[in-house]
Amino acid sequence: MSAPDFSSLRIGLLGSGRVANHLGPALAAAGHHVAFVWSRTAPVAAALAARLPDAQVLTTLASPLPPADLYLLAVPDAAVAPLLATTAWPAGALVAHLAGALPLAVFEAQPAVRGGVFYPLQTFSPGRELDWPTVPFCIEANDLAAETTLLNLAGSLSQHVRRLDSAQRLKLHVAAVFANNFTNHLLGIADALLAEAELPAELLAPLVRETVDKALANPPFAVQTGPAARRDAPTLAAHQAALAAHPAWQDLYERLTASIQTQL
Amino acid sequence: MSAPDFSSLRIGLLGSGRVANHLGPALAAAGHHVAFVWSRTAPVAAALAARLPDAQVLTTLASPLPPADLYLLAVPDAAVAPLLATTAWPAGALVAHLAGALPLAVFEAQPAVRGGVFYPLQTFSPGRELDWPTVPFCIEANDLAAETTLLNLAGSLSQHVRRLDSAQRLKLHVAAVFANNFTNHLLGIADALLAEAELPAELLAPLVRETVDKALANPPFAVQTGPAARRDAPTLAAHQAALAAHPAWQDLYERLTASIQTQL
């Protein structure tokens, strides 16, 4: 394999889910060549490949893979180790996974490849455009050349690229679960309570926007407000009563209140 | 008392905390006359009154209050009932509280006044400007004239004014605690985890913004993602291990995960 031109990589994309569907076209738009898309499900791979110039469709990884400067594993976390073990990798192939919670050490079981991590810290949803230049990329690799290739690739998409070790990345991923998945769930509970009161969901939008603007401009613990923070027992009791139909949310309310109070 | 001109009210402001400090100047800017500011602490009342044209400073409510078209109780929830009971109200005074969790029935104990609710659904922080036209106001009153006065007053500040009964308002207030106070706490946990990993807080900002944009554009339960939603046991276990130094956050993580899974 010739030394890759850093300004344009030939990429093999393994996976055709949400991340692959966002990342593939972004890589092509940045001037890279997505040489193939692999998926177990041919029509899914074909649909993504159709959005990428000159991309081949693969439905098996048993025969030797087409050559590429980099193979990206855009698959569920649990699929990474099996894919690494069972794919017919070209010797010395550079392979990177995209997972926040998987250590670089996952590559130790497959000495035929050079391993790396190419982790975009963002939530990917069908039909929502991403602003790639703002997406932070977290890079880690087993050798300097691999690291350089991944840093340059990330730099061709985003203005926010950094090296992170596996322990830092795991902690960042946990933080992202609190900031994204759990926050979304709380907004879902709020949405459900509004629906019960026959109120429109938009009613909370200005409050949610101001909450987030304030929390991003200040240390959130330092600007905590509300009945928990001011230990307002009558209001806390009124809220528990208002949640009587939802014992699970009562419990969550109680525990979040207690957690806020340990930070005062 | 003569019938108030709806376009300009003479207002007595009881309280000088965060809400009073935001609302007082906004009322003056909308063309109303804040006739007095009351606080137990004279310098605090004086500081607010200095920002309001021709506003008197009151430090006692024992003598008859100066006349006003409307008295606004911008005080902690727990102070509303005692203030109603002990103030020397002019007969038939129109008095409104600003609390999400207090029912209109709190006025039943004080038959000398006409009661109402003037609830701005927003979080108030020192030094942060509010975009008043977007702040939803929730109005309730015991008589139609009072309701009209409060609706018009809210309409002079905001484009989002609605009538809400006490039960709806309480449910909205609980929803606001989930969407604001609890969300802020989760963002605080995320912030603390980043600091532990020696990562800058800004790293999560694009994810947080996209999370909220998505949750405001869709029913949040319908767009839930993450290891809880996909029942990704290895990642959930890795996150528990990463939180080993924080048993309380481990517990919160577990309960939020379980709550997400009941909505799938």
- The interface predicted TM-score of the complex, written ipTM, equals 0.94
B82-100: average pLDDT: 96
A172:B193 CB<8 A: yes
What are the chain A neighbours of B193 within 8 Å (beta carbons)?
Answer: 171-172, 174-175, 178
Residue B192 has pLDDT above 90, yes or no: yes
Report the range of poorest mean pLDDT among A184-188, B63-67, B194-198: B63-67
Number of alpha carbons in the 13 Å side-chain half-sphere of residue A176:
26
**Average pLDDT for A80-92:** 96
The more confident residue out of A6 and A203 is A203
pLDDT of residue B62: 85
The confidence band for B6, taking pLDDT boundaries of 50, 70 and 90, is low
What is the structure's pLDDT at B7?
77
Averaged pLDDT, B185-202: 97
**Residues with Cβ within 8 Å of residue A184, at least 6 apart in sequence:** B211, B214, B215, B220, B223, B224, B225
pLDDT at A4 over 90: no
Q: Tell me where in chain B the CATH 1.10.1040.20 domain(s) lie.
A: 170-262
pLDDT tens by residue, A170-226: 999 999 999 999 999 999 999 999 999 999 999 999 999 999 999 999 999 999 999
Angle between helix B205-217 and helix A183-196 axes, rounded to 10 deg: 20
**Chain A 196-255, residues with CB within 8 Å of chain B CB atoms:** 196-199, 201-212, 214-216, 219-221, 223-230, 232, 234-235, 238-239, 242-243, 248-249, 251-253, 255
Q: Does A191 touch chain B (CB under 8 A)?
A: yes
Confidence at A72, pLDDT banded by 50, 70, 90: very high
The pLDDT of residue A126 is 86
Cβ(B185)–Cβ(A259) below 8 Å: yes
Q: What is the pLDDT of residue A62?
A: 85
CATH, domain A170-262, list 1.10.1040.20, 3.40.50.2020, 1.10.340.30, 2.40.30.10: 1.10.1040.20
Percent pLDDT > 70 in chain A is 98
Q: How big is the CA angle at B78 (ends B72 and B82), to the nearest 5 degrees?
A: 70
Which residues in chain B are contacts of A184 at CB distance < 8 A? Answer: 211, 214-215, 220, 223-225
- Backbone CA torsion sign across B40, B43, B48, B50: positive
**Mean pLDDT confidence for B9-20:** 97
State the average pLDDT over residues A35-51: 96
Confidence of residue B5 (pLDDT cuts 50, 70, 90): very low
Task: Tell me the chain B residues in contact with residue A206 when contact means C-beta distances shorter than 8 Å.
Answer: 121-122, 131, 134-136, 160
User: Considering chain B, what percentage of its residues have pLDDT values greater than 70?
Assistant: 98
Of B168, B215, B239, which has the smallest distance from its Cβ to A101's Cβ?
B239
Spatial distance between the Cα atoms of A132 and A129, rounded to a whole number of angstroms: 9
Q: Are A224 and B184 in contact (CB under 8 A)?
A: yes
> Strands across the sheet with B137-141, in order?
B56-58, B33-38, B10-14, B70-73, B94-97, B114-120, B137-141, B161-163
B94-97/B70-73 β-pairing:
parallel
Average pLDDT (B19-45) is 96
Minimum-distance CB partner of A180 among B219, B226, B232: B226
Task: Determine whether the interchain pair B181/A228 forms a contact, defined as Cβ–Cβ distance below 8 Å.
Answer: yes
Would you say residue A1 has pLDDT above 80?
A: no
Fold of A10-164: Rossmann fold (3.40.50)
- Contacts of residue A181 in chain B, CB cutoff 8 Å? 224-229, 256, 260
Q: Say which residue the tokens 């738009």 belong to.
A: A29
Q: Decide if pLDDT at A25 tops 50.
A: yes
Q: What per-residue string of b and e applies to B218-241 under the rule 16 or more CB within 10 Å gives b?
A: bebbebbbbbbbeebeebbebbee
Chain A partners of B192 at a C-beta cutoff of 8 Å?
221
| Number of A–B residue contacts, CB under 8 Å | 322
Q: From the list B174, B182, B190, which residue is nearest A243 (CB)?
A: B174
Chain A residue with Cα closest to B215:
A184
Phi, psi of A124 (to 5 degrees): -110, 125
Closest residue to A184, CB basis, from B101, B220, B251: B220
Q: A262 burial class (0-12, 13-18, 19+ CB within 10 angstroms)?
A: exposed
Q: Is the pLDDT of residue B3 over 80?
A: no
Taking CA–CA distances from A168, the nearest residue in chain B reads B197
At residue A240, does pLDDT exceed 70?
Answer: yes
Hey, is the C-beta of A46 within 8 angstroms of any chain B C-beta? no
Residues of A in contact with B204 (CB under 8 A): 121, 175-176, 179
Considering chain B, what is the average pLDDT of its residues? 95
- Residue B4 is predicted with a pLDDT of 46
Contact state of B182 with A186 under an 8 Å Cβ cutoff:
yes
Cβ pair A216:B205 closer than 8 A: yes
Range of lowest pLDDT (A145-149, B46-50, B61-65): B61-65
Q: Is the pLDDT of residue B109 over 60?
A: yes
pLDDT value at residue A3:
47
Q: Which residue of A has its CA nearest to B164?
A: A199
**Residue A149 confidence (pLDDT) above 80:** yes
Q: Which chain B residues contact residue A182 at CB under 8 A? A: 186, 253, 256, 260
* Over residues B184-201, mean pLDDT: 98
**In this complex, do A194 and B172 lie within 8 Å of one another by their Cβ atoms?**
yes
For residue B214, pLDDT beyond 80: yes
User: Cα–Cα distance between B19 and B32 in angstroms, integer?
Assistant: 17
Q: Which long-range contacts (CB under 8 A, 24 or more apart) does A211-215 make?
A: A211/B123, A211/B179, A211/B180, A211/B183, A211/B184, A212/B183, A212/B187, A212/B208, A212/B209, A212/B212, A214/B123, A214/B125, A214/B128, A214/B184, A215/B183, A215/B184, A215/B187, A215/B188, A215/B208
Best of A181, A198, A214, A253 to disrupt the B interface by mutation (most B CBs within 10 Å)?
Answer: A181
Does residue B54 have a pLDDT over 60? Answer: yes
- Say what the pTM is: 0.94
Q: Can you give the pLDDT at residue A252? A: 97
| C-alpha separations of A198 from A4, B63, B168 in Å | 59, 44, 8
Return the pLDDT at A7: 76
**Assigned token pair, A140:** 């880690």
CA distance A162 to A208: 30
Ranges in chain A annotated CATH 3.40.50.720 = 10-164
